[in-house]
Amino acid sequence: MLSEFYSDFPTSKNALLLAVSQNRAKKSDAAINTLKAHLEKNDSDTQVRSLLANLYLENYPEKSIPLYEKMLIEKPENIVFLNNLAWLNLENNNLELAMKYSAEAVKLASKNPNVLDTRGMVLLKAGETAVALKALENAYELSNGNDVSIALNYAEALIANKKNKEALSLLKALNGRDSKQTQRINSLIALAS
């Protein structure tokens, strides 16, 4: 029904509604195709591009990079775009770009725990363990210890800085939200022990 409505009225709002509906129905590829088709006819639609980038981020992370780069040209001070590009480049072992984007994000949002978390992990992977620890400690404190992912990254930095007792204390107090987090908690506990 929404597909037909979008066909009759192919607006940005209707493309977004249809794609969100498809994604909620566990049809992420259909949602991606809807958004891609809309962008082919409406290349300057930033809202649709943003949702497409987010869907790619969940399902095909490498495909989201060019979309975030294009949106960053239009909005060079968008913290989400900068932080996502930093993280994606970190995941793809492109440390130079990860350092660049994470530094820009920190300049704009030095009190954002997610931005500091990304920066800390980029620094950690670059071998700057002491500076990474400070960034991740700040991220952990700003999140009030409520973000398990940030806590895990902080624990990893503690271990990299030979502060295993602190890491173990932190890790033993954590409860993973899913099997992946639980597995990482257990791996870090083994590493710190």
> What's the confidence (pLDDT) of residue 119?
99
* Per-residue pLDDT band at 46 (split at 50, 70, 90): confident
State residue 10's pLDDT score. 80
Residue by residue, DSSP assigns 106-162 as HHH-TT-HHHHHHHHHHHHHTT-HHHHHHHHHHHHHHTTT--HHHHHHHHHHHHHTT
Is it the case that residue 8 has pLDDT exceeding 90? no
Question: Which tokens is 90 given?
Answer: 């970190």
Residue 24 covered by a domain: no
In a domain, residue 15? The reply is no
- Per-residue confidence (pLDDT) for residue 2, from 0 to 100: 72
CA-CA distances (angstroms) from residue 11 to 15, 33, 34, 51, 157?
6, 15, 12, 15, 47
pLDDT of residue 12: 87
Assign 67 a pLDDT band (cuts: 50, 70, 90): very high
Average pLDDT of the chain, as a whole number:
93
Average pLDDT over residues 140-166: 97
Domain coverage including residue 167: 108-193
26 within some domain = no
CA angle 140, 146, 100 (to 5 degrees): 40
**pLDDT tens figures, 30-41:** 999 999 999 999
Q: Could you tell me if residue 8 is inside a domain?
A: no
Residue 52 lies in a domain: no
Q: Quote the radius of gyration of the chain (alpha carbons, Å).
A: 19
Asked if the structure places residue 29 within a domain, the reply is: no
- Express each pLDDT in 68-103 by its tens digit: 999 999 999 999 999 999 999 999 999 999 999 999
Please report whether residue 127 resides in a domain. Answer: yes
Tokens of residue 153, six digits = 């990254």
Give how many domains the chain has, as a whole number: 1
Of the listed ranges 128-132, 149-153, 176-180, the least confidently predicted one is 176-180
Whether 175 is covered by a domain: the verdict is: yes
**Which CATH number belongs to the domain containing residue 186 in this structure?**
1.25.40.10
